[in-house]
Amino acid sequence: MKSAVIVFPGSNREGDVARALQIVSGVKPALVWHADTALPAGTDLVVLPGGFSYGDYLRCGAIAARAAIMDAVREHAARGGLVLGICNGFQILCESGLLPGVLVRNARLRFICREALLKVERNDTPFTRRYAKGAVVRYPVAHGEGNYTADADTLKRLEDEGRVVFRYVLPDGRRDDAQVLNGAANSIAGIVSEKLNVLGLMPHPENHVDPLVGPTDGRALFESLVGALEKA
Amino acid sequence: MTSAEPKITPELVAEHGLKPDEYERILKLIGREPSFTELGIFSAMWNEHCSYKSSRLHLRGLPTTAPWVIQGPGENAGVIDIGDGKAAVFKMESHNHPSYIEPHQGAATGVGGILRDVFTMGARPIAALNALRFGDPKHPRTRHLVAGVVGGIGSYGNSFGVPTVGGLVGFHTRYDGNCLVNAMAVGLADADKIFYAKATGVGLPVVYLGSKTGRDGIHGATMASAEFGEGAEEKRPTVQVGDPFAEKLLLEACLEIMEAGCVVAIQDMGAAGLTCSAVEMGAKGDLGIELDLDNVPCREAGMSAYEMMLSESQERMLMVIAPGKEEQAEAIFRKWGLDFAIVGHTTDDLRFVVKHKGEVKADLPIKELGDEAPLYDRPWVETPKQQRIDPAALDISATIPGALERLVGSPDFASKRWIWEQYDHLILNNTVQRPGGDAAVVRVEDGPKGLAMSCDVTPRYCEADPFEGGKQAVAEAWRNITAVGATPLALTDNLNFGNPEKPEIMGQLVGCLRGIAAAAKELDFPVVSGNVSLYNETNGRGILPTPTIGGVGVLDDVEKMATLDFKDSGEIIFVIGATTGWLGQSAFLSEILDREDGAPPPVDLALERRNGDFVRALIADSLVTAVHDVSDGGLLVALTEMALASGIGANLIAPPAEINPYGFWFGEDQARYVVTVESGSKALVLRRAETAGVTLAKLGTTGGDRLNIPGERPIVVDALRERHEAWLPIYMGAGLM
């Protein structure tokens, strides 16, 4: 698997996701600078990492969405290439039009770093095939602006098309929009593009791959990608 | 030589925080009246914050060396060898005054400053901690300060990308007018690639890097060297504004140009900005520095030399660049979108010359600016000793379970989850011990080593007996690091006190420093960096003496780290160290009986060492399943924390007849740890204790969902948890409605 992690000024979890990819796939990903205009030849997976690209100034992800490298990322996605946006990466995907909706400030207006429980709504995507459908997994969140929102039509479309892949849930697996940690509409934690090749999610699977530092529920997401690309 | 600048008058001198005799010293030193810019430079160099003029004499008594110390105090941060060619670089620094005036930016820039201190040395920050003290929760300003300070720390560290892994938070009415924000950062570097402030080589370019200079923070260091009166809020313009994004870029750019071999000397522009950094680089290298301010990147038009020299705009660095490396260094900085400007050069005349628009604005002897700063042997009086409290003479109406319930839900003991969940404590994927344990632990790169870190001090003890309190702060940091299985290596101290011109306050400083020195020496735990914050007074009332100790230790194999949660039912609980029931200055006395008196518990350093070494060996040999140090709150609070972390309760013994039960459960005797042992290991542990001469007593066994004490009503762990978790969110929530 050849992956490329895009580094914007202010990205700060590029190292975490690169390490997770290396642990799981055995291959070190390329780090690609935002000002570059092309992805390394043969890139299978593009990762937009977490962080505060451009200091989150203007709006989270808004400036990064217009970085030089993003044309290449859009082309890669249009060709059906895999794109994974985590946290700030999800914000960038929304701002760049690769995913619908937007992430606004957490409902309680505070940054939250804690473990969140997520329901894997479908396991027929390249990102989730190693999870059981309906499994409840634990990834940490670390964000101040992870409150997903979109207009009613968009939300309805996302739900009708089954494009919500990860949803915040209670320990018993039930969804409770009133209690969701950041106020996200429909408890949405992660969504996928129509062709299922672009995933954006707020929680950090890359921080839950190593038993020494916590649970390892995030590992299967990267294993899914390895599997999907082996098959391809 | 100065056109259109204010005339130097006694009033102007006083406004610069310089006393008449200090001004006389300036006149004698330079043989003429200083220019306005020069007066500003002296005020920046000679204030308490930068010159340590009240504390320097007494800081000399601290032990600062050990075979593993690479760099002790005097640089941006201390450096210790942690083996495998790696070094830990760390320091703690206060941002008290600015945080009280403008909590969000004050705390944020405190974090920014300490991170910069660490990466200036060539280290990548891998952990941040903070020790916070706020006033009485009932004080009208406290909630606002908590929200602002916590938000500021989070916004800076989270964006910068360093995990904030630990710290402490306390409340006391003596901090009503002066909160304390002590920020600590720990970085990792190659032991042979440490960078220093000392400039070498004549005629080399002095380069300005980072953000532009604005009018913010002018006289920040002078403000931080004075007491507050009414209207402290009016000093808001002296507080700097932080930009963690710029700092993140500065970090990456600095590490990149260091790696490329471009850097001869580097100094961050912290307190007193350009002045302090340029003088230090020159003075340490026995060189002069000439600056041409026309080249300084400015945010605003029309800034004067005086303003540029005193600005404390954040995220700026000064460097001496290796010959022929200017272009390469500049290209790296441009790549990161940062300013790069050659603003001067090194000279061989030992003068500090500042030029602006063709005029010489300052021409001063560079060494004397630092070396000849006033040094005061301020009068001090010893704090009178207090009597030992006899627990039997106390009039206590609370039951033991009732007192425990009140303690775990009280501001000092209640869970600080509401705070640390606002800090990204997981980034970098090395946080092995998350907030809530005895010490934070981060793995070093891919392991197997780990670094353990803890911030500690018990201000009540320091007020009652500065010497014992100073010892205790060091011993507790050492103990917390030991309790996770690490070997304590070195510490940074952040000395927060009131007005040193008062002999009682000076006596606290002197006493605490003597205590810190005694403990650091006895425990082989040298002081490698630190910071002094004086004049923490408002309307004549000082804070509790608060010498915060930030300790760092190393775990050879991070997988062997001990944690405090009970692991299983049916395990035997021991307390290591002797329990006498010492209630003087205890949390029990303060919280339950509303009195803060008596002598604090004495610290026997030889005993600390013996018990700590014993515990560390038990952890290394996997003979204990849970470990927790016993600190304020005593045995029952320690046991409660172990139960809360696991959900497992305990069946406890009745206290020995000769010890008052309140003293037994809530007393704060030092040098103690609670450990759990599987029944199969019991005999071996007992034998080893006997051989080592360590006092060890059985407290009970783990199991069930409550804490059972013979003759007392059972205490349900879940009910304790509810109280423990409730206080802070409710307190803070009320402010948001």
Q: What is the DSSP string of A48-102?
A: E--B-GGGG-SSTTTTGGGSTHHHHHHHHHHTT-EEEEETHHHHHHHHTTSSSSE
Q: What is the spatial distance between Cα B404 and Cα B398, in angstroms, rounded to a whole number? A: 9
A216 in contact with B at a CB cutoff of 8 Å?
A: no
Question: A134: alpha, beta or left, given left = phi > 0 and alpha = psi -120 to 50?
Answer: left
Indicate the DSSP class of residue B440: E
Residue B736: pLDDT band (50, 70, 90) is very low
Alpha helices, DSSP H, located in B417-458: 417-420
pLDDT in tens, B220-271: 666 666 777 766 666 666 678 889 999 999 999 999 999 999 999 999 998 7
Nearest residue of A to residue B430, measured between CA atoms: A213
ipTM: 0.97
Mean pLDDT score, A102-106: 97
Across the interface, whether the CB atoms of A213 and B443 are under 8 A apart is answered: yes
Nearest residue of B to residue A14, measured between CA atoms: B428
Mean pLDDT score, B497-506: 96
The active-site residue out of B95, B219, B345, B425 is B95
Q: What is the CA radius of gyration of chain A?
A: 16
- Residue matched to tokens 């601290």: B62
pLDDT in tens, B311-325: 988 899 999 999 999
Which residues in B lie closer than 8 A to residue A55 (C-beta atoms)? Answer: 159, 243-246
Helix (H, G, I), strand (E, B) or coil at A105: coil
The active-site residue out of B16, B49, B345, B425 is B49
Nearest residue of A to residue B253, measured between CA atoms: A9
What pLDDT score was predicted for residue B541?
A: 93
Across the interface, whether the CB atoms of B425 and A113 are under 8 A apart is answered: yes
Identify whether B16 is a catalytic site residue. no
Q: What is the average pLDDT score of chain B?
A: 94
What pLDDT score was predicted for residue A232?
A: 55
Nearest residue of B to residue A57, measured between CA atoms: B245
How many structural domains are present in chain A?
1
Which residues in B lie closer than 8 A to residue A9 (C-beta atoms)? Answer: 245, 248-249, 336-337
pLDDT in tens, B565-577: 999 999 999 999 9
Mean pLDDT score, B407-418: 97
Question: A114: alpha, beta or left, given left = phi > 0 and alpha = psi -120 to 50?
Answer: beta
Across the interface, whether the CB atoms of A210 and B429 are under 8 A apart is answered: yes
Q: Give me the phi and psi of B482, to 5 degrees please.
A: -60, -40
Of A162, A188, A29, which Cα lies nearest the Cα of A94? A188
Helix (H, G, I), strand (E, B) or coil at B104: helix
Bridge partners, B129 (sequence order):
B166, B184
Mean pLDDT score, B588-612: 97
- Residue matched to tokens 């030193």: B29
Alpha helices, DSSP H, located in A80-144: 88-95
The contacts of residue B9 (CB under 8 Å, 6+ apart) are none
pLDDT in tens, A69-100: 999 999 999 999 999 999 999 999 999 999 99
Q: In the predicted model, is pLDDT for residue B1 greater than 60?
A: no
Q: Give me the phi and psi of A4, to 5 degrees please.
A: -130, 125
Asked if residue B277 belongs to a known ligand binding site, the reply is no
Which residues in B lie closer than 8 A to residue A204 (C-beta atoms)? Answer: 426
* E strand spans, B11-110: 69-71, 78-83, 86-94
Q: What is the spatial distance between Cα B245 and Cα A57, in angstroms, rounded to a whole number? A: 9
Across the interface, whether the CB atoms of A16 and B428 are under 8 A apart is answered: yes
What pLDDT score was predicted for residue B236?
A: 61
A204 in contact with B at a CB cutoff of 8 Å?
A: yes
Mean pLDDT score, B522-539: 96
Tokens of B197: 């402030």
Q: What is the spatial distance between Cα A87 and Cα A201, in angstroms, rounded to a whole number? A: 6
Sign of the C-alpha dihedral, residues B21, B26, B31, B33? negative
- Residue matched to tokens 């209630």: B583
Site from A36, A110, A206 to mutate, B interface, most B CB atoms within 10 angstroms? A110
Tokens of B537: 């007074």
Q: What is the spatial distance between Cα B115 and Cα B90, in angstroms, rounded to a whole number? A: 9
CB B699 within 8 A of CB B574: yes
A16 in contact with B at a CB cutoff of 8 Å?
A: yes
Across the interface, whether the CB atoms of B429 and A110 are under 8 A apart is answered: no
Q: What is the spatial distance between Cα B709 and Cα B544, in angstroms, rounded to a whole number? A: 35
Bridge partners, B698 (sequence order):
B574
Tokens of B425: 């404590």
Question: Domain-by-domain residue ranges, chain B?
Answer: 1-371+415-559, 562-737
Helix (H, G, I), strand (E, B) or coil at B570: coil
pLDDT in tens, A23-62: 999 999 999 999 999 999 999 999 999 999 999 999 999 9
The active-site residue out of A14, A95, A206, A208 is A206
CB A101 within 8 A of CB A80: no
**Superfamily, domain B562-737:** PurM-like C-terminal domain (3.90.650.10)
User: CA separation (Å) from B590 to B426, B460, B484, B497, B728?
Assistant: 35, 9, 29, 21, 19
A15 in contact with B at a CB cutoff of 8 Å?
A: yes
Q: What is the spatial distance between Cα B488 and Cα B453, in angstroms, rounded to a whole number? A: 9
| Nearest residue, CB atoms, B159 vs list A55, A114, A210 | A55
* E strand spans, B357-480: 359-365, 431-433, 440-443, 450-456
pLDDT in tens, B184-209: 999 999 999 999 999 999 999 999 99
Across the interface, whether the CB atoms of A10 and B431 are under 8 A apart is answered: no
**CA torsion angle for B459, B464, B470, B472 (degrees, to 10)?**
-80
A103: CATH: 3.40.50.880
| Nearest residue, CB atoms, A213 vs list B158, B245, B430 | B430
Nearest residue of A to residue B165, measured between CA atoms: A113
Of B130, B135, B122, which Cα lies nearest the Cα of B163? B130
Bridge partners, A51 (sequence order):
A11
Q: Which of residues 143 through 182 in chain A touch B, CB cutoff 8 A?
A: 144
Please give the helix or strand (H or E) that residue A30 lies within, else none: strand A30-33
B161 in contact with A at a CB cutoff of 8 Å?
A: yes
Q: How many CB atoms lie within 10 A of CB B657?
A: 6
Residue B409: pLDDT band (50, 70, 90) is very high
Site from B150, B156, B164, B426 to mutate, A interface, most A CB atoms within 10 angstroms? B426
- CA angle A134-A79-A99, nearest 5°? 50
Q: In the predicted model, is pLDDT for residue A108 greater than 50?
A: yes
User: CA separation (Å) from B530 to B101, B134, B608, B649?
Assistant: 23, 21, 24, 41
- Residue matched to tokens 């940062």: B338
| Nearest residue, CB atoms, B432 vs list A19, A55, A213 | A213
Identify whether A206 is a catalytic site residue. yes
Asked if residue B51 belongs to a known ligand binding site, the reply is no
Q: Which residue type occupies B155? A: S
Q: What is the pTM of this model?
A: 0.96
Q: Which residue type occupies B493? A: D
Q: Give me the phi and psi of B316, to 5 degrees please.
A: -130, 150
Asked if residue B116 belongs to a known ligand binding site, the reply is yes
| Nearest residue, CB atoms, B248 vs list A12, A110, A206 | A12
- Residue matched to tokens 């038009």: B301
Nearest residue of B to residue A35, measured between CA atoms: B335
Asked if residue B679 belongs to a known ligand binding site, the reply is no
Bridge partners, B81 (sequence order):
B87
pLDDT in tens, B48-81: 888 899 999 999 999 999 999 999 999 999 999 9
Q: What is the DSSP string of B168-213?
A: EEEE-GGGSS--EEEEEEEEEEETT----S---STTPEEEEEESPB
- Domain span at residue A33 reads 3-231
Across the interface, whether the CB atoms of B245 and A56 are under 8 A apart is answered: yes
Tokens of A63: 């400036």
Across the interface, whether the CB atoms of B429 and A213 are under 8 A apart is answered: yes
Across the interface, whether the CB atoms of A55 and B421 are under 8 A apart is answered: no
Indicate the DSSP class of residue B35: P
Identify whether B104 is a catalytic site residue. no
Q: Which of residues 17 through 56 in chain A touch B, CB cutoff 8 A?
A: 19-20, 50-52, 54-56
Q: Give me the phi and psi of A136, to 5 degrees please.
A: -105, 120
Nearest residue of A to residue B420, measured between CA atoms: A113
A95 in contact with B at a CB cutoff of 8 Å?
A: no
Across the interface, whether the CB atoms of A55 and B244 are under 8 A apart is answered: yes
Q: What is the spatial distance between Cα B375 and Cα B54, in angstroms, rounded to a whole number? A: 6
Q: In the predicted model, is pLDDT for residue B219 greater than 80?
A: no
Helix (H, G, I), strand (E, B) or coil at B335: helix
